[in-house]
Amino acid sequence: MEQFTRNELTFDVTDVGPSEAEAIVLLHGYPQSSASWRSVFPGLTAAGYRALAPDQRGYSPGARPVGRRAYVMSELVADVLALADQAGIDRFHVVGHDWGGAVAWALGTDHPDRLRTLTVLSTPHPGAFLRSTVTSSQALRSWYMGLFQIPRVPEWLSLVGDGRVALSSMRRSGLSEERAHEYLARMREPGAITGALNWYRAIPFEAAAIREAQPVTVPTLYVWSTKDVALGRKAAELTGHYVSGPYRLEILEGVSHWIPEEAPDAVVRLVLDHVRR
């Protein structure tokens, strides 16, 4: 499977491993792509699992709709379900990082019947994140989310001067030079940076849904890393309060926000242990 479609949008997808095996859907974050899982795929497929990683809405060249309302969480979740349906998968394991983690949390809340297990890297539960903004330094860590609400300016800042601002930000937060240039190249494609930023610009439409969300009942693994400059410990510690099913928190010492790229062996080990329980 190389592509799937939904509402006239065409998404690129990496699909590796036995087609009849249990499926693990991997969801990337900002400003990444399915390539963020490149070093994770071999360990999952060697263990006998099918791994599917889409380039999500705003990232696939054929799926960059205009307007921030096209990027509300219900649309992002529906894209993942369309992938599963067209891949012939009823229930699947989901692993999400960064914004992909937010989509994974929403799947766990709204569609627990479709999930076998839930694994989230870096991203705390949305309720825990909101609570941490008034009980810790999380609001200061998240200053860029306010900047991203401004039309056009963040696009210019990200790409001006051959993308030096974006490259510097990614490198300072722990991403390798090679991966930073790879992700910047994707953001330079027509409509890509605006599509990626529209995930942030849709946040104002989500507050009510976050407040009303029920606890997650799906078996959940949450992985947080101590050198994450964007997401702090308080939100990580609060996340367990929003899961009523089996829950496990794992902390990776000395690892940056970019967990799939920096610690793929740890990701494979933790995910396999979780999905086999």
**Per the structure block, which two tokens stand in for 164?**
């030096």
Q: At what angle do helices 153-172 and 177-187 cross, to 10 degrees?
A: 170
Instruction: Print burial letters for 189-222: b (CB count within 10 Å at least 16), e (below 16).
Output: eeebbbbbbbbbbbbeebeeebeebeebebbbbb
Q: How far apart, in Å, are the Cα atoms of 165 and each of 83, 181, 261?
A: 34, 12, 21
Question: Distance from CA of residue 33 to its chain's centroid?
Answer: 10
Which residues are tagged catalytic? 98, 200, 257
Rounded distance, CA 64 to CA 237, Å?
35
Instruction: Give the list of residues 6+ apart from residue 212 with CB closer than 8 angstroms, or none.
Output: none
